[in-house]
Chain A
Amino acid sequence: MSNIPALEVENLTKKIKRKLIIKGVSFTLYPGEVFGFLGPNGAGKTTTIRMIVGLISPTSGTIKIGGKNVRTEFTEAMRHLGCIVENPELYPYLTGWENLEHFANMDSSIPKSRLQEVVALVGLSNRIHDRVSTYSLGMRQRLGIAQALLGKPKVLILDEPTNGLDPAGIREMREFIRTLAREENLSVLVSSHLLSEIQLMCDRVAIISKGAVIRTDSVQNLLAEQERVIWKAEPLSLAKEILERETEVQEGLDGTLITLYDEPLLPEWNEKLVQAGVKVKEMRTQLPSLEDLFLEVTGGESID
């Protein structure tokens, strides 16, 4: 991973009718990493993405793609960018191939041979000469990615890439994105309100809520910090009483107790339980889902 950022967003704000919608968002993407943009609907993910791709002009702040400022060097910046904003909306009355030709025509640096390459890359060779109106959503999504990759971008921005796909499609998309990042050294920015998606796909994640980035960190770090211990013990009520003296305890659904993972203190807690005559049947650590994490970081704001 090199340290020259592929995408730099600094202190981005957007005011709409005197209301601050985006409140100073900053983050950086490095080559070859998949970056998750996580937040509930209406948190400002799409607005931020639209500012990055130049559809909305920011009220303040700077965006640099491949070192080029989107506001002052628009064409140079866009040359390094491929994106799908929300749904992959292509011209339904043109064939897939004509759609790609159409977009390739808009950038003289794209050679004709590139079209065949991207079609093969997204595995759409069989149906590429059919009209887009006959495509399934999954195929449109692939064509959308094909058009985003036409200009060999450094940064790929995908807004809710798995929206509306079936489980097999979601899995395929996930693997595809990972492959792109690994093999083509692409930086991918993926937004989602689905926490499990981000968890499986991304290296780093920014959690956004109400127009501000609450936290940016690697997925591992975030998870490790929130690691839990699950206890199975008898009698449960006594175990709970003892553990509550030491730490915060939550009751699991299937007769378990959940505490924080605190390595040095863990044997102590266990000893106390044993001394009190509690039979400890099971002790295991568990990584929480981002779901739990999200609730914690946003202070219980609902996810959807």
Chain B
Amino acid sequence: MINLVRNEMLKLLRKKRLYVIALIIAFLVPLFTYAQFKEIQDQREKMGTQDWRTVLQQEITDTQNRLSSSRIQDEWRKYLKIRLSQQQYYLENDIDPRAPGAPTFMRIFVENSIDLLLPLLVMVIVADLVSSEASGGTIKLLLTRPVKRWRILLSKYLAMLLSVSFIVLSVAVLSYGISGLVFGYGGWNMPLLTGFAVSGDELLTDNVHIVPQWQYILMEFGLVWYVCVIVGTLTFMLSVLLRSTAAVMGIMLASLIAGAILVNMVSSWESAKYFFMVNLNLTNYVSGMATPIEGMSLGFSMAVLAVWGLAGFIIAFVTFSKRDIY
């Protein structure tokens, strides 16, 4: 099996796909770094000459005042307390919350690329994994070896998992390495709030707690990897079903973009939440953004994706081992 996977990786490397992906990321990261840099500058200008420490001190006093008021609810009080400790941490450790380091950039970059950019990159690698063998005719040589068909497909699937991991890893390394040149490499221990939940119109803060940024980032990259594996599995299935790589790309591209559009307009169409493409934005659950459709939660979205992924996996393996090759 290791030999088979090595074969697949060799082909991927020789096709220079992984290289191109790394290049795309290496090109995009400086672009976003610059955009982020501009935004920070803009904010600084708005604040005028004031030192950020003064601003932060003001915010802390503000929070303290609100806490001392007797009319607020318990839940809200708890949330404010957490906020307060976060703000105090910033001040004590001399962290400007508006001038983030490379880890913060990494976090923002990955949160914004989870639903479209990264799935697209995954698609570029996976789309022709099987279909190119079919259209190039090499599948005939591949399947007349003393190796069972499911093993060949499994080796390709494992190669897909490796490439997806490579993409996620290179996003992490490149975004940290490149943006650090501008923002500095510190900030791993910056406290962040997580655990928000949305119920109806209300933001539930019951479970809000502080985690250090490195933990937060680890969590988000785990989710990103999960999303990429599911998108990879679905692309893989299409690649098995269709001979034409262009058709695979077309279908995947259409559904991913449809997902990005649907998210903004399906709030009243409840059953749309069972589509895989509206569930891609897993990191939103961590940072506590409103869900596109009511009743969606991290667990729900992961389950929906798992079902889609599993179905894709089974369809791919069943068709591949039964199909007649002409």
Q: Which residues of A contact B (CB under 8 A)?
A: 50, 53-57, 74-76, 78-79, 81, 83, 85-87, 89-94, 98, 102-103, 105-108, 147, 151
> Contacts A105-B4, A106-B7, A108-B3 hold; do A53 and B146 have CB atoms under 8 A apart?
no
CA distance A89 to B324 in the complex (A): 18
User: Across the interface, do A90 and B326 meet the contact criterion of CB distance under 8 Å?
Assistant: no
| Interface flag for B48 (CB, 8 Å) | no
| Interface flag for B182 (CB, 8 Å) | no
Q: Which of B6, B14, B145 contacts A94 (CB 8 A)?
A: B14
Chain A, Cβ-Cβ closest to B16: A93
What are 15 residue pairs bridging A and B, where the CB atoms are less than 8 Å apart in the complex?
A53-B140, A54-B144, A75-B147, A75-B148, A78-B144, A86-B137, A86-B140, A93-B14, A94-B11, A102-B7, A105-B4, A106-B3, A106-B4, A107-B146, A108-B3
The smallest C-beta distance from A232 to any residue of chain B, in angstroms, reads 51
Inside 8 A of B318's CB, which chain A residues have their CB?
none
Chain A, Cβ-Cβ closest to B2: A105
Q: Which of B6, B14, B140, B145 contacts A107 (CB 8 A)?
A: B145
User: Across the interface, do A102 and B10 meet the contact criterion of CB distance under 8 Å?
Assistant: yes
Q: Which residues of B contact A (CB under 8 A)?
A: 3-4, 6-7, 10-11, 14-15, 136-138, 140-148, 322, 324-326
Leading 7 A-B pairs by shortest Cβ distance: A89-B137, A78-B146, A56-B324, A55-B325, A106-B145, A105-B3, A75-B146
User: Across the interface, do B144 and A83 meet the contact criterion of CB distance under 8 Å?
Assistant: yes
> Contacts A105-B6, A106-B4 hold; do A89 and B146 have CB atoms under 8 A apart?
no
Inside 8 A of A86's CB, which chain B residues have their CB?
137, 140
- By secondary structure, the A interface counts as loop
Inside 8 A of B4's CB, which chain A residues have their CB?
105-106
CA distance A54 to B325 in the complex (A): 9
User: Across the interface, do A76 and B146 meet the contact criterion of CB distance under 8 Å?
Assistant: yes
Chain A, Cβ-Cβ closest to B325: A55
> Contacts A55-B325, A105-B7, A106-B3 hold; do A89 and B140 have CB atoms under 8 A apart?
yes
> Contacts A90-B141, A147-B141 hold; do A74 and B3 have CB atoms under 8 A apart?
no
User: Across the interface, do B146 and A85 meet the contact criterion of CB distance under 8 Å?
Assistant: no
CA distance A151 to B147 in the complex (A): 13
The smallest C-beta distance from B158 to any residue of chain A, in angstroms, reads 15
Inside 8 A of B143's CB, which chain A residues have their CB?
54-55
Inside 8 A of B6's CB, which chain A residues have their CB?
105
CA distance A90 to B322 in the complex (A): 23
User: Across the interface, do B146 and A151 meet the contact criterion of CB distance under 8 Å?
Assistant: yes
User: Across the interface, do B145 and A103 meet the contact criterion of CB distance under 8 Å?
Assistant: yes
Inside 8 A of B142's CB, which chain A residues have their CB?
106
CA distance A102 to B145 in the complex (A): 11
CA distance A76 to B4 in the complex (A): 18
The smallest C-beta distance from A216 to any residue of chain B, in angstroms, reads 24
User: Across the interface, do B144 and A85 meet the contact criterion of CB distance under 8 Å?
Assistant: yes
User: Across the interface, do A81 and B138 meet the contact criterion of CB distance under 8 Å?
Assistant: no
The smallest C-beta distance from B92 to any residue of chain A, in angstroms, reads 57
The smallest C-beta distance from A106 to any residue of chain B, in angstroms, reads 4
Inside 8 A of A75's CB, which chain B residues have their CB?
146-148
Inside 8 A of B14's CB, which chain A residues have their CB?
91, 93-94, 98
Q: Which of A74, A76, A89 contacts B136 (CB 8 A)?
A: A89
CA distance A147 to B137 in the complex (A): 15
> Contacts A74-B148, A83-B144, A106-B145 hold; do A56 and B7 have CB atoms under 8 A apart?
no
**Of A75, A94, A102, A103, most B-chain CB atoms within 10 Å:** A102
**Of A76, A87, A103, most B-chain CB atoms within 10 Å:** A103
CA distance A150 to B324 in the complex (A): 25
User: Across the interface, do B144 and A55 meet the contact criterion of CB distance under 8 Å?
Assistant: yes
Q: Which of B15, B136, B141, B326 contacts A50 (CB 8 A)?
A: B326
**Of A86, A94, A106, most B-chain CB atoms within 10 Å:** A106
Chain B, Cβ-Cβ closest to A57: B324
CA distance A74 to B143 in the complex (A): 11
Chain B, Cβ-Cβ closest to A90: B138
Inside 8 A of A91's CB, which chain B residues have their CB?
11, 14, 136, 138
**Of B6, B143, B148, B324, most A-chain CB atoms within 10 Å:** B324
Q: Which of A85, A93, A94, A151 contacts B140 (CB 8 A)?
A: A85
17 extra interchain contacts, Cβ-Cβ under 8 A, other than A78-B144, A85-B140, A107-B146? Answer: A54-B144, A55-B140, A55-B143, A55-B144, A55-B325, A56-B324, A75-B147, A85-B144, A86-B137, A89-B136, A89-B138, A90-B141, A91-B11, A94-B14, A103-B141, A106-B145, A151-B146
Inside 8 A of A85's CB, which chain B residues have their CB?
140, 144
Inside 8 A of B140's CB, which chain A residues have their CB?
53, 55, 85-86, 89
Chain A, Cβ-Cβ closest to B322: A57
User: Across the interface, do B10 and A93 meet the contact criterion of CB distance under 8 Å?
Assistant: no
